[in-house]
Amino acid sequence: MAGISPKLPLTIGGEYGAYKTTKTILEMVKQNFKNLLLTIPGERVMDPNFGIGLLKFLFEPDTGEVRSGIIDEVDNQIKIYMPFLEIVDISFAGEHEGIDPGHLNVQIRYKITPLGVVDFLEITVT
């Protein structure tokens, strides 16, 4: 079975071409979702609205309002760029949970609706 898409970050030495590739739809969706979360709006050429830019929330106070803002951004971007995903749960770990105050930790459980598969993505931005 050939790969589905290039695996990021690009790494030379692929089994099916010059670069390593994702081998399952689940792996590809997770990679694309992570890309959506980490891309800063305006960073993607030809699509300035793409991305949530979790990095922009890094030094915001750990309040319910900021967490709500992140959840809203995720919901809005999912509707536009990955409408086949359904967010099951978004949770945060902050300083009171043992996370360094200079870090933002977001855990997202999501469902790939056409497959009926639930997966988990955890990102820590520093």
What does DSSP assign to residue 19?
Answer: B
How confident is the model at residue 63, as a pLDDT?
A: 85
Give the least confident one: 9-13, 45-49, 92-96: 92-96
Q: Which value, to the nearest 10 degrees, does the dihedral of the CA atoms of residues 42, 31, 72, 46 take? A: 20
Residue type, 11: T
How many alpha carbons fall within 13 Å on the CB side of residue 105? 10
How confident is the model at residue 27, as a pLDDT?
A: 93
Is the pLDDT confidence value at 58 over 80? Answer: yes
How confident is the model at residue 35, as a pLDDT?
A: 95
Domain ranges of the chain: 28-125
Residues 65, 66, 69, 70: is their CA dihedral positive or negative? negative
Indicate the helix (H) or strand (E) that contains 59.
none
The domain 28-125 is placed in CATH, from the list 3.10.450.40, 3.90.1640.10, 3.40.190.10, 3.40.190.150, at 3.10.450.40
Is the pLDDT confidence value at 101 over 80? Answer: no
Give the least confident one: 10-14, 19-23, 90-94, 96-100: 96-100
Q: What percentage of the chain reaches a pLDDT higher than 70?
A: 91
Indicate the helix (H) or strand (E) that contains 80.
helix 64-81
Return d(Cα 59, Cα 108) in angstroms, integer. Answer: 20
Is the pLDDT confidence value at 20 over 90? Answer: no
